[in-house]
A and B are shown apart, each in its own frame.
Chain A
Amino acid sequence: MGEFRQQIESAIPALRRYARALTRDVEAADDIVQDTLVRALRSEHLFHGGDVRAWLYTILTNLNRNRLRALSRRPVLAPIKDSDAVSGAPESGGRDIGRALDELAEEPRTALLLVVLEGLTYREVAEIQGVPIGTVMSRLARARMQIRSYLDGERPALRRVK
């Protein structure tokens, strides 16, 4: 196995973790990871060095955006989320972190998860999201503020329209 594939392989567990938190759905998460891997393998010839891991996060983030776009246009029957809720009791008196993440718009949620769950730097997140670092920081600030008010029991300022 070449170095390129080895780097991809070693990133798979982290990609699953990120996708799980993004989608909050085990099957949908693994679907996105699979599509990410397929695209990465197919685009092997387009990869000219650099950080494979950040590139994989970029693909996965783009695929998730496509998925959300498709879901938002689906007229009825959005899937029931939070199939991972069985793994632990809701924190903070019924208002759990998963639901708090669900309330966020896509960009702030993505930025927050890449930083706190995946441990990426602001610069890496800026490249993945294709925006300046200042924008990443304001997304991060928005995400944290909304989660805090959600967990504190206030009505969130913004609800994600599904």
Chain B
Amino acid sequence: MSDRDPIVSEDELHAYVDGELAAERRGAVEAWLATHPDDAARVAAWRSQAELIRARYGGAADEKLPRRLELARLARRRHWRVTATAAAAVLAAFIAGGAAGWFARDAEGAPSSDLRKFTADALDAYRLYVVEVRHPVEVAGDERPHLVQWLSKRVGSPVRIPELDKMGLKLVGGRLLPGPTGATAFFMYENGSGERFTLYCGQTDDRETALRYTTGDHNAAYYWVDHNMACVLSGPAERDKLHAIAQAAYDQIDTRSPQRGG
């Protein structure tokens, strides 16, 4: 193979530097570098970059651990301090506000201005609470029956909380939020990697719609109207994943499906 395929790709040069190259290609790459000084210079530059990075930051691993990073202390504490990073993130989310441009790429027909505002508010709520470490929700996910009862009463319509465990998502909990059409129910889910998704539901007079997608820089949402309830599922902008989760939520919230135990 290496004899008949002497051309070395840039990918192979990276793999060579990073020790990921298949053993049978090493000889070919080394022969190539011997006769291609530009590539040899690139490889040398990449190696020197790696050495500079390791020289500069490698020492951080040997520094004495500050007390706040001692695992035993963190595990003992019931309430964790909100770090400056998380606090700053929440503050910045407040300042950011607005959701202009969220519908710029919606190709599935223009939503009503009410639904537009509703989805913009849902995304604002997502960005605001998704960075919250200590108080992401008012009521924790293990009080599901209480959440259903409380939020249904406040929203003025039966609220269903989808179970998304099969998608690897645990219900962190929920809170009550003001919305453009009145009280809205807001639920947060989290996967094992700390990625968060939120569901925002409130009453609406809008006609029913199927799932619609809208996206911004880093977040995206699927929104729909079912009977008299508008719902927005927001999360990181990975369309396929978000769609699967939104579809699962949509199916469970569907008023025509039998009520699940809550």
Task: Please tell me if the beta carbons of B59 and A31 are within 8 angstroms of each other in the complex.
Answer: no
Mark each residue of chain B from 131 to 167: 1 if its CB lies under 8 Å from any CB of chain A, else 0. Answer: 1010000000000000000000000000000000000
Residue A83 CB within 8 A of the other chain: no
The verdict on B110 contacting chain A, using a C-beta distance below 8 Å, is no
* Chain B residue with the shortest CB-CB distance to A50: B192
Contact B194 A63 (CB under 8 A): yes
User: A73, B54: Cβ atoms under 8 Å?
Assistant: no
- On whether the beta carbons of A12 and B69 are closer than 8 Å, the reply is yes
Interface residue from B45, B93, B238 paired with A73 (Cβ < 8 Å): B93
**Residue picked from A16, A75, A98, most chain B C-beta under 10 Å:** A16
User: Is the beta-carbon distance between B193 and A59 smaller than 8 angstroms?
Assistant: yes
Contact A37-B194, Cβ < 8 Å, known A70-B89, A73-B96: no
From B58, B75, B195, give the contact of A17 (CB < 8 A): B58
**Contact A91 B60, beta carbon cutoff 8 Å:** no
Q: Give the contacting residue for B130; candidates A41, A66, A75; CB below 8 A.
A: A66
Interface of chain B, main secondary structure: helix
Contact B218 A69 (CB under 8 A): yes
Check B95 against A73 for contact (C-beta < 8 Å): yes
Interface residues of A: mostly helix, strand, loop or mixed?
Answer: helix
- Within the complex, the shortest CB–CB distance from A14 to chain B, in Å, comes to 6
Shortest distance in angstroms between A20's beta carbon and chain B's nearest beta carbon?
4
Shortest distance in angstroms between A8's beta carbon and chain B's nearest beta carbon? 6
**Contacts known (A34-B69, A67-B85, A74-B92); A41 close to B75, Cβ less than 8 A:** yes
The 8 Å CB contact of B191, one of A14, A46, A101, A144, is A46
Contact call A31/B56, Cβ cutoff below 8 A: no
A71 to B93, CA, bound (A): 9
The residue on A at minimum CB distance from B241 is A130
- Residue on A nearest B134 in the bound complex, by CB: A38
User: Is the Cβ of A70 less than 8 Å from the Cβ of B131?
Assistant: yes
Q: Name which of A34, A55, A140, A148 has the most chain B CB atoms within 10 A of its CB.
A: A34
User: Is B52 interfacial (CB 8 A cutoff)?
Assistant: yes
Q: Is A9 a contact of B71 with CB atoms below 8 Å? A: yes
Question: A62, B194: Cβ atoms under 8 Å?
Answer: yes
**Binary CB contact string for chain B from 58 to 78 against chain A (1 if under 8 A, 0 otherwise):** 111111011011011011000
Q: Give bound CA distance, A147 to B168, whole Å.
A: 38
A-contacting residues, B101-146, CB 8 Å: 130-131, 133
User: What separation, in Å, do the CA atoms of A137 and B63 have in the docked complex?
Assistant: 31
Determine whether the beta carbon of A97 is less than 8 Å from that of B68: no
Q: How far is the CA of A122 from the CA of B85 in the complex (A)?
A: 29
- Contact status A74-B95, CB under 8 Å: yes
Residues facing B in A1-46 (CB within 8 A) are 1, 5, 8-9, 12-14, 16-17, 20-21, 27-39, 41, 43, 46
Q: What residues of chain A lie closer than 8 Å to B55, measured between beta carbons? A: 88
B1-37 at interface with A (beta carbon < 8 Å): 10-11, 14-15, 18, 20
Interface string of B160-192 (1 = CB under 8 A from A): 000000001010000000000000000000111
Partner of B85, one of A16, A35, A144: A35
Instruction: Check A71/B92 contact, CB under 8 A, given A5-B71, A147-B49.
Output: yes
Across chains A and B, which 10 residue pairs bring their CB atoms closest together, nearest first? A70-B89, A13-B61, A70-B92, A31-B83, A31-B85, A97-B52, A116-B50, A46-B192, A21-B57, A17-B61
The 10 sampled A-B contact pairs (Cβ below 8 Å) are A28-B84, A35-B83, A59-B194, A70-B88, A88-B56, A117-B53, A117-B57, A122-B18, A140-B14, A141-B10
Q: Which residues of A contact B (CB under 8 A)?
A: 1, 5, 8-9, 12-14, 16-17, 20-21, 27-39, 41, 43, 46-48, 55, 58-59, 62-63, 65-67, 69-71, 73-75, 84, 87-88, 91, 96-98, 100-101, 112-113, 115-117, 121-122, 130, 137, 140-141, 144, 147-148, 151
